[in-house]
Amino acid sequence: MSLIESLFGFLILALSHFGKLALIALGLAVIFGIMGIINFAHGEFILVGAYTTAMGYHAGFPLLLAIFVGGLAAGIFGLIVERLIIQHLYDRLIETLVATWGVSLIVIQLVRIQFGGTFAGIHTPLGSIQYGAFSASTYRIALAGAAIVLFASTYAIFMYTRYGLHSRAAMQNKEMAQCLGIPTKRVYMKTFFFGSVLSGIAGGLIAPTVSLTPDMGTNVLVEAFVTVIVGGANVIVGTSLAALSLGIIQAPASMLFGTLGGYLALLITTVLLIRVLPEGLTGVVE
Amino acid sequence: MDESEHATEESSNPHHWFSHLLDRFDEFHARFEGPNTIGNNRTFWAVFWGIFAILLVYPMIVNTFVLKTNTSFFIWVILALSLSIVWGYSGIFNFGQMATFGLGGYAYGVVAINLTEMIGGTVLALLIGVVLPAVVMAALGYFMFYGQVSGLYVAIITLVVTLMFNLLLTRTSGTTIGDAQLGGLNGMSGIPTLELDVVAFSFDLTPVSEYYLVLALMIAVYLGLRYTVNSYYGYVMIAIREDERRTQMFGYDIRKLKTALFSAGAALGGLAGVLYVSWSGFIDPTMFGLVSASLPIIWVTVGGRGTLLGSGIAAYLLQYTSNELGAMGTGYSFIFLGILFILVILFFPSGIVPALRDRWVAWSTTRKQSGSVQEGNS
Amino acid sequence: MGARKSTDRSGQTTPNAHGSGKNSRRRFLKAAGGLGSAAGLSALAGCIGSLGSDDETIRIGTLYDNSGELGFTGEGKDAVTEMFLEEQDYELLGREVELISYDPAGDNTQYQNLTRRIIQEDEVDMLFGALLSSNREAMRPIVNENKQLYSYNDWYEGGVCDQFTFINTTLSSQQRPMIEFMIDNFGPDYYAIVADYNYGTISNQYARFYAEEYGGQPVGEEFVPLGVDEFGSTINDIQQADPDWILSLTIGAPQASFFEQAEAAGLDVPYGSMSNIAGTYEHKTFEPPVMTDTYSCFSYFEEIPTERNQEFVEKFKSEYPDFDYVFLSIVDAYTALQLYWEAVELAGTVDQEEVAAAYESGDISVEAPSGTVAMDPETHHATQDMWLAHVDESHEVQFLDVDGNPTDEPISEQVGTSDWFASECQLASESTWDDPITEQYIPEEGDLTE
């Protein structure tokens, strides 16, 4: 492998790791950052998005539209969960953890009963790009671009909409926001919806690259958590930086030491980063 | 409120033998009582020892299978109690309590298989099964607490470390330590049962004696922890949980205390792990998986975080429930469990046992108020 | 459960649908019995054992996951068990047969508790169970301690040598024809993608050993942890090693993502698979042409063109329409029951020691959906036909002979265990009911060569 090829290979790998981590973490980061609760059913929102996308796609929708429908389906599902459960547990981190764990158990088993062990997947679009003797999936690289677009949109929504203003206020000081007449409960509800939509879109986007199974959510949960925690409190900057740095570390480690090495590197880096930067990467930026 | 209760009882005829006995009864329990635990009155202890008495005769009325299953539930109770101390009382959000259990189990297994010929080999294995997790977690605790890691970050680090154990142990399919094959995902089997050698007599654990041993340990751990949390150390633990900075201002070395607590909890978790592996003769790396790691967290949350009793009861009931759901063989067991978690959290956000306690207190206060007139008459 | 529900959904009122309803009621009663008598602190607990212990009834127990990661696989096995019992009218030796099935949900502690329950309380005459090897290893100490006749019937790496355990499924060593075929047709250099746990690494040892015999060798090996679904670096590594073919030992749906990602990256190398198609039907779940030119060697595929098999597939799918593909685990569960039936009929009793002796008689041989399956007395493993399947670009399966020509015949007939295992494990001659051998042998480097 020539140096140029290695470098290229590394860049592509790092980009695809970044794309995936950023996508699966964003929805969780929004909900965790603003509402301060842990959504243990996060993976199942991704699952709902992915399955709906696949269904739409097989029903003849173009992929992009199917992904949009997937996001919407996850959003509606999120709204139901919020109204039924989460709204009674605002500001109760541990309790939401256990309750959403319950949601996750239910969803996984229902999906299994309804659709069986695996679900017909989507063929990865866009073909491959060649570099020397090597080639990589174009779609995997496009995912990194999609992640950047989603982060930018989320940033715009937080900065330039009324909801964004309210949610930032609620995040910084809930009591003060309430005093100023901001309906924090409505803000929380919208946030949960918004986070769910983002997770659903992420599910739709990664659907063409993985097998669709009832456990697909559980499989990404740890990576999503790790990314959010390493990122720290700042939803946009922290999470994207975390995804980037973890991706950059995972890529060479998996090239050198195999998949297990890459995964271990991700976990060890997480532990070390938390130890060195107890505030997450946000702490460094601020 | 509880003290006044005692006071009333002492002021009634102290020379009567029965009342004297009751006083001794209260005196004995006083050391386990305090504001940090639930159940600080005579009624509680009467019920407690009543249940204990039933548990003592239990092996005579059930078959081996039921007894064996119950023994495993008691082991889970010990694990729940260990997390209750670390997390519920001291506020260290430890997602890795199951890892201490697994480490204890693996350590016991490896040593016991290698020393199977040696007299007292399994006892040595037990000691190592307790010490190893304590040492490992002391190191991890040192790493975290001396680096100011706290709160949710502790949860993530402990979870990640647990998952790393899972990854590494899964790949040990060809690894042997002495005579012990770690066995990878297929697990390590053929682990000998604990053999107790007490000076002159030694006996293999039968299901019945194993039951009594675990029962005794469970009661001892519960009472021991009750004693601890109501002692000076208990107040320090709660001070750490409630406000670390202020506790530090009072001159306590938070980092040292947390590391010690974390490690002590691990020793207890390791003990549970040893008992479990001795019970099952088998252990595999799924002990370190995400699902297993969440179990103790769920027990303690459902039972009530700030109570030993609640954690223990929840562990017993939830393990019992999922066992029975499995026996229904429907495939719906996870759905039932999920609904159960949600309902419990929605209706008893602080946990089942504290909620029941509050109701009991409310009920008994009203009864006492209306009943105090009658008492005066007698 | 899903299967039963769908029978209702299809609106059929055939005797079969009726029959499965009957059985679910039976199961429910059993469950209610279990709950009522409760292993908890109720003094009633002791009475379950005697509940309906009619000596005339033959009790058969199954412990297959109905929930958890492999819930769907276990449901398939339970469904086919019902189908088999209905075919037998719930009768054996003229006595009624009762089915007791629990759901261990993939949890090994549950496996242990339920194994105890099904042996000690339900007192089953025969126990079928476990999906993963780890489930089986959790069960086996209890099975052995209670001298319980037991069938394991899900594909695994091989090596269990146990007086009380009888195994019918595809073993890694039986997939040898695939290795030979790949080396002959594509070349000696292969790259192995191996699920990083017992099944994967041990099967990989077999593969390497056979490959060496046929003049092949690995040019790269990647061990992938279970649950990993990210193969960017692996694909890179493969392109660098430039193998003639890829040996796939991926396990579980996340790892199967490899195929989709390899396709998307433009990797065009044939797969010789020891773990795909038959059991996990990737050619049905992925859109063509992802699995094109996968060669897989197992004792059973849904597509096996015999009349016996096509009838079986049609019947199973009409009764359990939730199953789009009849996978290996389903058929192995069915065959295990056939073997038991034959052994009991030969023994003329369900006495476990005598049935074990019948299994060891050398006369147990059944016409299973996969072909003739016989029980080898010494190893307690099934001897069976192996089929080499080829997946084409539209994801259709053809069977091939040694020369790569399409055929309706298996590539290798009546294949037993590896020579190494056959020489290690001699249960009929060295083990007895009262002085049993209960081992699992794992080949070490060099063991296979001798």
Find all residues with CB under 8 Å of B290, minimum gap 6, and list them. A218, A221, A222, B159, B163
Q: How far apart are CA C177 and CA B34, in angstroms?
A: 73
Residue B338's SS3 state is helix
What is the pLDDT confidence band of residue B204, given thresholds at 50, 70 and 90? low
Number of independent structural domains in chain C = 2
My answer on whether B10 and B96 are in the same domain is no
What is the pLDDT confidence band of residue B104, given thresholds at 50, 70 and 90? very high
Whether the CB-CB separation of C107 and C34 falls below 8 Å is answered with: no
pLDDT above 90 for A215: no
User: Best residue in A134, A220, A259, A266 to probe C by mutation, most C CBs within 10 Å?
Assistant: A259
Kindly state whether residue C321 falls inside one of the protein's structural domains: no
Q: What is the per-residue pLDDT across B54-96, written as a single tens digit (0 to 9) for each?
A: 999 998 888 888 898 899 999 999 999 999 999 989 888 899 9
Average pLDDT over all residues of chain A = 86
Cβ of residue A229 closer than 8 Å to a chain B Cβ: yes
My answer on whether C51 and C155 are in the same domain is yes
Residue C14 has phi, psi (to 5 degrees) of -70, 160
Which residues of chain C have a pLDDT value below 50?
1-54, 450
- What's the confidence (pLDDT) of residue C33? 39
What is the pLDDT confidence band of residue B15, given thresholds at 50, 70 and 90? low
- What's the confidence (pLDDT) of residue B1? 43
Cβ of residue B170 closer than 8 Å to a chain A Cβ: no
Q: What is the ipTM of this complex?
A: 0.85
Rounded mean pLDDT of A107-113? 88
Q: In Å, how far is B331's CA from the nearest CA of chain C? A: 4
Q: How far apart are CA C14 and CA A109, in angstroms?
A: 29
Kindly state whether residue B376 falls inside one of the protein's structural domains: no
What's the domain range around C243?
Answer: 173-298+384-417
- What's the confidence (pLDDT) of residue B132? 95
Cβ of residue A8 closer than 8 Å to a chain C Cβ: no
**Residues 91-150 in A contacting B (C-alpha not used; CB under 8 Å):** 92-95, 97-99, 101-106, 108-110, 113
My answer on whether C337 and C241 are in the same domain is no
CB atoms B58 and C41 under 8 Å: yes
What's the domain range around B25?
Answer: 1-61
CATH number for C246: 3.40.50.2300
- How many CB atoms sit inside 10 A of residue A179's CB? 9
- Residue C289: cis peptide before it, omega within 30 degrees of 0: yes
- What's the confidence (pLDDT) of residue C153? 95
Rounded mean pLDDT of B213-226? 93
- What's the confidence (pLDDT) of residue B372? 53
CA nearest neighbour of B274 among B124, B170, B83? B124
Whether the CB-CB separation of C151 and C166 falls below 8 Å is answered with: yes
My answer on whether B214 and B139 are in the same domain is yes
- What's the confidence (pLDDT) of residue B206? 80
Q: How far apart are CA B130 and CA B25, in angstroms?
A: 33
Whether the CB-CB separation of C181 and C402 falls below 8 Å is answered with: yes
My answer on whether C260 and C397 are in the same domain is yes
C-alpha of C59 from chain center: 22
My answer on whether C277 and C358 are in the same domain is no
Residue B327's SS3 state is helix
Alpha-helical regions (H) of chain B:
2-11, 17-30, 42-61, 64-83, 97-114, 121-145, 152-170, 207-229, 232-242, 244-249, 254-280, 290-303, 308-328, 333-347, 352-377
Find all residues with CB under 8 Å of C133, minimum gap 6, and list them. B185, B186, C156, C157, C198, C199
My answer on whether C223 and C342 are in the same domain is no
Q: How far apart are CA B283 and CA B190, in angstroms?
A: 10
DSSP β-ladder status, C95-102 and C58-63: parallel
Least confidently predicted of B265-279, B318-332, C242-256 = B318-332
C-alpha distances out from residue A194 to A159, B286, C370, Å: 15, 35, 52
Rounded mean pLDDT of A105-114? 88
Least confidently predicted of A2-6, B283-287, C155-159, C415-419 = A2-6
Kindly state whether residue C210 falls inside one of the protein's structural domains: yes
My answer on whether C10 and C43 are in the same domain is yes
Q: In Å, how far is C79's CA from the nearest CA of chain A? A: 14
Kindly state whether residue C316 falls inside one of the protein's structural domains: no
* A283: enclosing H helix or E strand: helix A281-285
Neighbours of chain B (3+ CB pairs under 8 A): A, C
Kindly state whether residue C207 falls inside one of the protein's structural domains: yes
Q: How far apart are CA B312 and CA B80, in angstroms?
A: 6
My answer on whether C78 and C139 are in the same domain is yes
My answer on whether C142 and C52 are in the same domain is yes
Kindly state whether residue C309 falls inside one of the protein's structural domains: no
Least CB–CB distance from C285: residue in A1, A118, A139: A118
Least confidently predicted of B257-271, B330-344, C37-51, C272-286 = C37-51
My answer on whether C62 and C115 are in the same domain is yes
- What's the confidence (pLDDT) of residue B359? 85
My answer on whether B137 and B279 are in the same domain is yes
Q: Tokens 């005829």 — which residue?
A: B13
Q: How far apart are CA C97 and CA C82, in angstroms?
A: 11
Kindly state whether residue B187 falls inside one of the protein's structural domains: yes
pLDDT above 90 for B267: yes
CA nearest neighbour of C243 among C155, C154, C183? C183
Kindly state whether residue B334 falls inside one of the protein's structural domains: no
C-alpha distances out from residue B37 to A61, B84, B310, Å: 60, 12, 10
- How many CB atoms sit inside 10 A of residue A247's CB? 22
My answer on whether C182 and C293 are in the same domain is yes
Kindly state whether residue B19 falls inside one of the protein's structural domains: yes
Q: Pick from B295, B314, B338: which residue ends a domain?
A: B295
My answer on whether B167 and B251 are in the same domain is yes
Average pLDDT over all residues of chain B = 85
pLDDT above 80 for A105: yes
- DSSP string spanning A71-134? HHHHHHHHHHHHHHTGGGGTT-HHHHHHHHHHHHHHHHHHHHHHH-S-B------S-EEEETTE
Percentage of chain A surpassing pLDDT 90?
29
Q: What is the per-residue pLDDT across A112-141, written as a single tens digit (0 to 9) for each?
A: 888 877 787 788 888 888 877 778 888 888
My answer on whether B94 and B160 are in the same domain is yes
Whether the CB-CB separation of B307 and B187 falls below 8 Å is answered with: no
More confident residue, C109 or B197: C109
Residue A170's SS3 state is helix
Which two structure tokens, joined as six digits, stand for B36?
A: 């940090």
What is the pLDDT confidence band of residue B14, given thresholds at 50, 70 and 90? low
Number of independent structural domains in chain B = 2
My answer on whether B137 and B115 are in the same domain is yes
Nearest Cα residue in chain A from B347: A88
C52 φψ region: left (φ > 0), alpha (ψ -120 to 50), beta (else): left
Kindly state whether residue B258 falls inside one of the protein's structural domains: yes
Kindly state whether residue B316 falls inside one of the protein's structural domains: no
